[in-house]
Structure 1
Amino acid sequence: MHILFLTDNFPPEVNAPASRTYEHAREWVKQGAQVTIITCAPNFPQGKVFDGYKNRLRSVEDMDGIRVIRVWTYITANEGFYKRTLDYVSFMLSSFIASFGVRKVDVIIGTSPQFFTAISAFLVSLAKRRPWIFELRDLWPATIKTVGAIKNGRVLSLLEALEMFLYRRATRIVAVTHSFKEELAARGINADKIDVVTNGANLAHFKPSPKPLDLARTLGLEGRFVAGYVGTHGLTHGLETVLDAAEILQSVPGADHVRIVLLGDGARKADLKANAARRSLTNVVFLDSVPKAQVPDYWALLNVSIIHLRRDPLFRTVIPSKLFECMAMGIPVLHAVEGESAEIVRRKGVGLTVTPEDAGELAARIAELAAAPERLEAFREKCLVSAERYDRANLARRMYAILSQTANTRASRP
């Protein structure tokens, strides 16, 4: 089976879509599939092409048996709706053109969050007369509406109509949460064609490890209780709440050994750093993104992981992939996301749930766990037990079965 996968995020980028696609594709190759990825020059989230790469019309490389075709796109930082849309549209066009050089394809996949990649996958499906799968990672454009990135009602209506068109025309949909499937079914999409393959973690890469003492010493974290956020600093993440909690902790008796680490990049990072400086938050440490191979070392610095999204009904349908990485490494979570993911935390006993955007509650929970090593150890043990269910290799094999079945169905017709 020859799988053609369209995605505008792929390693060496380290965000969730890049990691999921790479780890799935690598497993599909082990299953005997031929996998071709069409992507762009790595640049997320700063909009700067990574060292060793160029934004060329077309380049080809092999990555663990995966054929990776990189195409030219308009590159911009992960901020500003209209510039980002131009980025998405350029990839849609470039990926569609590049697909004509890929022969004998059995099934096509287009992945979100944004759905311009899915438009390209749909067009490739028509051109090659092969079935296609919409991998649904986010309910876009609902997300951009929630964060206020676009307020024009006509534009939003047009995007929503396009969204529904793609759902209907996809041969199958693979959603990353059960909530997404329920949402689409409620909007009239046939639930029988929607499968759920959740995010997970590569248990060979993310595994328990002792705190890296040299790194902790270098970062001024030696002997500290470290609560940390690892990931994109974007509009949806509401990380101002984490700074508010840090400010509260500075006046909490016995919490002077607590440090809060924010590792990553994104549209809000510069503002967050300026905000922390204005408030003289001496207990906050900002770190830039690190290569994928180094990420587990930085996770291992944490005594507890903060997972946070803004408080909005839309995010009740989201399961942040970092939850599974924390489980795999045995890191308890302070989970400030409502809905399906919070239920996983409560059911599996891998940490505490916190009301999103409630800085007082977040600060209280950090201080509470900093003084309760026995509770942390109990959470840690449950993390490791629960991680087995979310082994990325097993999830990839489940999706491979869906791909095999879909490859034998008829493609969409105009």
Structure 2
Amino acid sequence: MKEVLIITNYFPPETGAASNRIFHLAEGLQKHNFKVSVLTPLPNYPKGKVFEEYRGVFKHTSLESNITINRLWIYASNSKNKLLRLIAMLSYSFSLIWFFTWNKIPKTVIIQSPPLLVAFTSVFFLRSKKRKIILNVSDLWPLAGLELGAFKKNFSYKLLQKIELFNYKYADLVLGQSEEILAHVKSLSPEKETFLYRNYPDFEVKSTRHEIDSSKKLKMVYAGLLGIAQGILKLCENLDYTRIQFHIYGSGAEQHAIENLIKNKPELDIIYYGEVTRQALHQVLTKYDFTIIPLLNRIYGSVPSKIFEYARLGIPMLYFGGGEGEDVIEKYELGWVVQPSNYEDLNKVISKLKLSKLESENRNKIQKTAIYNFDFESQFIRLMDYL
């Protein structure tokens, strides 16, 4: 039985796209007769605090679904202070080095990037002619950080670019979740072998039945990270609520500001539910008329995994993020597209939504499209040829 190690910053019980993606990858490998182990920090995302049941230990090892999970110590923080964030990444990197020193590492290693520094630590210490390094790139750092305003083109940025290039150079294979990511990798390392590995969900689908009550407001939902990049606070402030009621699930940096906005401006038709599990979310999402997938600014290489998950649930989408995600929405007729930060156009599109596009017939069409085109198992079998 072939062994494979996955190194990641995110893994269940943490929530979010990155955690789900790596879990499905590990589970898929295990089902295809790989002996899978995972290296990940003690659970702490997105609150920046180690979950209560994992506190007070340096390392926690468990066997879950026949996958060995090694959870290592981290100085957890989601502070906006760049120094504290750097210390957090360095702490996990030191834990990784300790693990590499005292444990036998399989010949095949899959490394999640970003975080860039964690990926660099893993690539640097594990690179070997006898070992296959697979880099799973979900976002382009430091470029994405520059576009988000987190970085400036200074010495630190140039250093991060060199780290990025090092990671690509010593990876035997690069997995990218978008065509833009693969194009970027090829521009820096033309001979590098790449594979498009979308973040397709892997769960059973149920037929959907949904009818619109034309006498009431449309129910629009957002579920996910309430971070700066998503811009949910600004979205709340700029929506026209004449025709919609806005429902929000999730947590993150903007959570308290959103709660205060709802408290101070009760005339805004917003309902906030907090954070729920993915399983519970799947049960409630289908009752909403449509969902919105926003990014405050277009981020090169980004294709939100929500697109594929919501399509499988049969939920019409209003995509407000630009880039390659727009192409997916339009190509597969999954909903509507509005340029990011154009709130005037967004409100116009919402005001003209046709009810027929939100009801059962169109939802079933979206679901069938997802089942046929966004199939986890088919993509995974293609990936097996590279392993």
2:230 to 237, 240, 251: 237
- Report the equivalent of 1:157: 158
- Report the equivalent of 1:408: none
**Separation in 1, partners of 2:44, 2:385:** 32
**Separation in 2, partners of 1:191, 1:383:** 37
CA spacing shift, 1:311–1:85, aligned 2, 3 Å: same
1:385 to 368, 371, 381: 368
**Separation in 1, partners of 2:232, 2:63:** 37
- Report the equivalent of 2:257: 271
Contact 1:12 1:42 survives alignment (8 Å): yes
Query: In structure 1, the residue corresponding to 2:175 is in which secondary structure?
Result: strand
- Report the equivalent of 1:215: none
Q: How does 1:274-353 map to 2 (within 5 A)?
A: 274-312=260-298, 315-353=299-337
Kindly state the Cα deviation for residue 104 of structure 1 after the two structures are TM-superposed: 5.5
**Separation in 1, partners of 2:45, 2:13:** 10
Identity of aligned residues (%): 22
**Separation in 1, partners of 2:40, 2:66:** 16
TM score, norm. by length of structure 2: 0.91
Kindly state the Cα deviation for residue 224 of structure 1 after the two structures are TM-superposed: 5.4
**Separation in 1, partners of 2:30, 2:41:** 21
Q: Which has the higher contact order (CA 8 A, sep 6+)?
A: 1
1:360 to 344, 351, 357: 344
**Separation in 1, partners of 2:328, 2:368:** 13
Query: In structure 2, the residue corresponding to 1:305 is in which secondary structure?
Result: strand
Kindly state the Cα deviation for residue 319 of structure 1 after the two structures are TM-superposed: 0.7
Q: CA-to-partner distance for each residue in 1:263-288, whole Å, 9 max, x for gaps?
A: 11112222233334444343111222
- Report the equivalent of 2:90: 89
**Separation in 2, partners of 1:48, 1:334:** 33
**Separation in 2, partners of 1:238, 1:136:** 23
Could you list the runs of 4 or more consecutive aligned residues of structure 1 that deviate by over 6 angstroms after TM superposition? Answer: none
CA spacing shift, 1:362–1:37, aligned 2, 3 Å: same
Q: CA-to-partner distance for each residue in 1:113-140, whole Å, 9 max, x for gaps?
A: 2212211321342379512111110011
TM score, norm. by length of structure 1: 0.85
1:225 to 218, 226, 247: 218
- Report the equivalent of 1:409: none
Contact 2:142 2:161 survives alignment (8 Å): yes
- Report the equivalent of 1:195: 195
**Separation in 1, partners of 2:225, 2:315:** 19
**Separation in 2, partners of 1:241, 1:358:** 11
CA spacing shift, 1:348–1:328, aligned 2, 3 Å: same
Q: CA-to-partner distance for each residue in 1:351-404, whole Å, 9 max, x for gaps?
A: 0001111222222333333xx3212235423311221221223333333332x2
Q: Note if 1:374 corresponds to 2:356.
A: yes
Structure 1: which 5+ runs fail to align? 212-222, 405-414
Kindly state the Cα deviation for residue 301 of structure 1 after the two structures are TM-superposed: 3.3
CA spacing shift, 1:208–1:324, aligned 2, 3 Å: farther
**Separation in 2, partners of 1:78, 1:393:** 38
The amino acid across from 1:193 in the alignment is: E
Contact 1:24 1:392 survives alignment (8 Å): no
CA spacing shift, 1:282–1:323, aligned 2, 3 Å: same
- Report the equivalent of 2:184: 183
**Separation in 2, partners of 1:207, 1:120:** 43
Structure 2: which 5+ runs fail to align? 211-215
Contact 2:224 2:251 survives alignment (8 Å): yes
